[in-house]
């Protein structure tokens, strides 16, 4: 059973009708090696995907289609291609549809298990629910489309001796407004500088991490906790948090413009080139800019890309 057949069965007649209606009312959706055999991967797939409404009113974000497959299917296939054989989905919102898809497809040599959040626990909280994380493991958002080499990421992590390694990408972020430099905030305030729509180059998280198991001791049990909060705690405590720089394709499917760009790039076969020149984004040094992305969701600076 393919993705669309499984999904239609899981949605039922009413849900399938809503999905069709949502697609017609929104944006155009033109629609291994054993190197990591002992490394488990935890995929965060429980977010509501509010920025992709109305599609995510009937589909969980990780099941948004890229060509003929769901983004989560592509993620699983990429992990398998790098040798990962044990994948855990942390699920919540519309989790039955994710189960329907993966229970009705050939999952190759990968064993898929589920951890269900009874209530939203953020992006770090669900990790405390996963049993058996006793060795170095991968954590990633379930809506990331990239060509990242997971084997090289884990190798780098081990060689660097990090507690956590974050896959990072350089981005040029364009601010859509004139930025004022004000001498003080009291009245009368004197403006001493004016930058018209400046661009800021930043290193941002890709939403892909490698963790050592003892890092979970810093995650409070049974409560909402996000990866940025965890990273801040580790840094304050002097724990080694490292970066793995990546300059290849990376799409955050949780944003409508990025999703549309990813679909177009994937289906046209121009995935690598298109990731650097997404429609509607100005290109600057180091890659395409994320104009409006940071100001819409400031958590992006710390890599929180999965929970909403």
Tell me, what's the pLDDT at 57?
55
Inform me whether the pLDDT recorded for 27 exceeds 80: no
Distance CA 36, CA 176 (A): 43
Instruction: Write down the mean pLDDT value for the chain.
Output: 76
Tell me, what's the pLDDT at 20?
39
Tell me, what's the pLDDT at 157?
97
Distance CA 262, CA 145 (A): 8
The secondary structure element, H or E, covering residue 132 is none
Question: In which band, very low, low, confident or very high, does the pLDDT at 94 lie, cut at 50, 70 and 90?
Answer: confident
Tell me, what's the pLDDT at 275?
39
What's the pTM? Answer: 0.74
Distance CA 115, CA 88 (A): 7
Tell me, what's the pLDDT at 106?
78
Condensed to tens digits (0 to 9), the pLDDT of residues 54-68 reads: 555 567 778 888 888
Distance CA 8, CA 128 (A): 33
Tell me, what's the pLDDT at 70?
85
Contacts of 112 (CB under 8 A, 6+ apart): 76, 87, 88, 89, 102
Question: In which band, very low, low, confident or very high, does the pLDDT at 164 lie, cut at 50, 70 and 90?
Answer: very high
Tell me, what's the pLDDT at 276?
40
Flag the least confident range among 18-22, 146-150, 242-246. Answer: 18-22
Tell me, what's the pLDDT at 271?
66
Question: In which band, very low, low, confident or very high, does the pLDDT at 49 lie, cut at 50, 70 and 90?
Answer: low
CA nearest to 140, candidates 218, 69, 62, 67: 62
Tell me, what's the pLDDT at 307?
40
The residue ranking higher by pLDDT, 50 or 281, is: 50
CA distances, 276 to each of 230, 288, 306 (Å): 30, 5, 21
The residue ranking higher by pLDDT, 72 or 35, is: 72
Distance CA 7, CA 16 (A): 8
Question: In which band, very low, low, confident or very high, does the pLDDT at 113 lie, cut at 50, 70 and 90?
Answer: very high
Tell me, what's the pLDDT at 53?
52
Inform me whether the pLDDT recorded for 44 exceeds 90: yes
CB 294 within 8 A of CB 172: no
CB burial readout 248-262, b (16+ within 10 A) else e: ebbbbbbbebbbbbb
Inform me whether the pLDDT recorded for 212 exceeds 90: yes
**Domains, in order of start, for the chain:** 3-171+201-302 (3.90.550.10)
Tell me, what's the pLDDT at 75?
93
Condensed to tens digits (0 to 9), the pLDDT of residues 175-208 reads: 888 888 888 766 777 888 888 888 888 999 999 9
Tokens of 23: 């697609």
Tell me, what's the pLDDT at 5?
52
State how beta strands 65-66 and 69-70 pair: antiparallel
């Amino acid at each position: 059973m393919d993705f669309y057949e499984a999904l239609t069965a899981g949605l039922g007649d009413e849900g399938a009708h809503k999905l069709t209606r949502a697609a017609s009312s929104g944006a155009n959706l033109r629609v291994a090696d054993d190197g990591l055999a002992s490394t488990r991967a935890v995929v965060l797939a429980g977010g509501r995907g509010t920025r992709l409404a109305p599609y995510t009113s009937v589909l969980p974000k990780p099941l948004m289609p890229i060509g003929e497959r769901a983004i989560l299917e592509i993620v699983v296939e990429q992990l398998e291609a790098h040798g990962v054989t044990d994948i855990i989905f942390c699920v919540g919102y519309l989790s039955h549809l994710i189960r329907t898809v993966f229970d009705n497809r050939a999952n190759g040599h990968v064993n898929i298990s589920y951890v269900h959040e009874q209530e939203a626990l953020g992006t770090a909280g669900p990790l405390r629910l996963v049993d058996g994380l006793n060795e170095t493991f991968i954590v990633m958002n379930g809506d990331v489309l990239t060509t990242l080499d997971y084997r090289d990421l884990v190798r780098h992590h081990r060689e660097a001796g990090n507690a956590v390694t974050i896959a990072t990408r350089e981005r040029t972020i364009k601010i859509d407004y004139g930025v004022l430099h004000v001498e003080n905030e009291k009245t009368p305030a004197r403006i001493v500088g004016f930058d018209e729509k400046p661009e800021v180059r930043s290193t941002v998280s890709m939403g892909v991490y490698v963790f050592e198991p003892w890092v979970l001791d810093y995650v409070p049990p049974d409560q909402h906790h996000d990866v940025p909060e965890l990273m801040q705690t580790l840094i304050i405590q002097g724990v080694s948090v490292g970066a793995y720089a990546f300059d290849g394709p990376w799409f955050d499917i949780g944003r409508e413009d990025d999703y549309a760009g990813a679909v177009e790039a994937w289906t046209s076969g121009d995935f690598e080139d298109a990731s650097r020149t997404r429609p509607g984004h100005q290109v600057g040094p180091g890659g395409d800019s994320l104009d409006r992305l940071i100001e819409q969701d400031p958590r992006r600076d710390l890599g929180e890309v999965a929970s909403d």
